[in-house]
Amino acid sequence: MRCEEFRRLLDREGATAAEIGAEHLKACPSCQGELRRWREVEQELAAWGQEEAPPFLHERIMAHIRSEGRRVVRPAVVWWRPVWLMPVLLLVLLAGLGGLGLWRVLRPAAPAGESVTAADATARGDAPAARGDETPGGRAVVPAPPPASAPLVAQRQELPVERRSPKVAGQAKAVVVPPTRPPGEPGEMAAAAREPQGPGGVVADVVTLDRDRAPARPLGEMAEERKAAASLAAAVRREIRCQLLDDRSVPVTTLWLPEDAVPEAGRMWVVRVGEGGAVTVEDESATLLPQVASAIRTRAPQLPPPGRYRLTQAPLPEY
């Protein structure tokens, strides 16, 4: 055996190579030195295997496992695991769908393409209907916000409206008047009726709310519009256009009176205007109607000269 062969044997077998290469070792001091050195290496490596670990190693390992191991090993509570959660989620989902369906049923809906007039909008509330085709001459009076002309424009901008000719759309008219009539301006309403751009109120054209033509808007905005329409309807009062006729049946003044202070169509009540603006009204059975007299005093733009007149409904004005 040569030294090179013994070194390979030493690499392959370690210190046990001494038994196999005993004859070569007897004659080779170099390989004896190499074997001695390797035995010392093996002894040193074996001594490393007996070294003590740091005393705090165990606690450190266990603390690490307790802090992280439990979190990792224990099955996490998954939110979808509980069995009861699925029926609850299903109920919530069904309730949501039911609410949506209910909202679709209960919300005021117009058939596709059907125009809705402002008077229709008011009729959806508790106020009496103001459709012109149902009661010719009917007129909706709407309190206007304090500047007389601008608010109506703003209101029109809020509502998806489409201007139409009154003759085409019907006879109903929406009239905007100040919320509280200033004292001393009793004839303003009639002036407004004559002048669509009157100072105290504006006679509005018949407007239509056409959902199909209106651009798509958020549901919240539509809900606000419905609220506005409801408040509008609550504020609407019906008034009838009337006339005072002299003894020759010539109209001397035109005024708008509440519908409960107006004779029926074709009937006439007697109105007497005395000195100092005193007004009395009698119906066909000579019963005094003080409320009507008061309405005439406050609503007539200008009282006629003292005398006897007849109160009757007036035909609608021509535009």
Partner 1 sequence: MAPEELGASSAEAEEVARARGGDEAAFEALVRRREGDIYRLCLRMLGDRDDAMDASQETFLRVYRALPHFRGEASFRTWVLGIAINVCRTRLVGRARRQGQRRVSLQRGDGEGGEEGVVDIADTAPGPEAHASAGELRAALARALAQLQPEHREVILLHQMTGLEYQAMAAVLGVRVGTVKSRMARARAALRAALEGVWP
**9-13 long-range Cβ contacts below 8 angstroms, 24+ apart:** 10/34, 10/35, 10/38
CB atoms within 10 A of CB 127: 19
Q: Which stretch binds partner 1 (CB under 8 A): 24-32, 42-50, 130-138, 250-258?
A: 42-50
Query: How far is 312 from 242, CA to CA, in rounded Å?
Result: 6
For residue 36, the minimal CB distance to partner 1 (Å) is: 11
Question: Should residue 36 be labelled a site residue for partner 1 when binding is judged by CB under 8 A?
Answer: no
Under DSSP, is residue 176 helix (H, G, I), strand (E, B) or coil? strand
Nearer to partner 1 by Cβ, of 70 and 104: the residue is: 70
Gap between the Cα atoms of 114 and 210, Å rounded: 7
Number of residues located near partner 1, criterion CB under 8 A: 32
Q: Which is nearer to partner 1, 48 or 84 (CB)?
A: 48
Binding-site member from 3, 5, 12, 223 for partner 1 (CB under 8 A):
12
Contact 201, 178 (CB under 8 A): yes
Q: Is 3 in the site for partner 1 (CB under 8 A)?
A: no
Q: What is the C-alpha to C-alpha distance for residues 104 and 109, in angstroms, rounded to an integer?
A: 9
Nearer to partner 1, 55 or 220 (CB): 55
Binding flag, residue 84, partner 1 (CB under 8 A): no
Distance CA 316, CA 319 (A): 9
Residue 231 near residue 166, CB atoms below 8 Å: no
69 touching partner 1, by CB under 8 A: yes
Name which position in 1, 38, 143, 301 contacts partner 1 (CB under 8 A): 38
- Binding status of residue 61 toward partner 1 by CB under 8 A: yes
Nearer to partner 1, 54 or 276 (CB): 54
| 76 binds partner 1 per the rule CB under 8 A | no
Q: Report if residue 25 touches partner 1, rule: CB under 8 A.
A: no
- E strands, 148-236, are 161-163, 174-177, 202-204, 207-209
d(CA 318, CA 137): 11
Answer for which of 60, 81, 213, 267 binds partner 1 (CB under 8 A) is 60
Residues that bind partner 1 (CB under 8 A): 7-8, 10-12, 14, 34, 37-38, 40-42, 44-46, 48-49, 51-54, 57-58, 60-62, 64-65, 68-69, 72-73
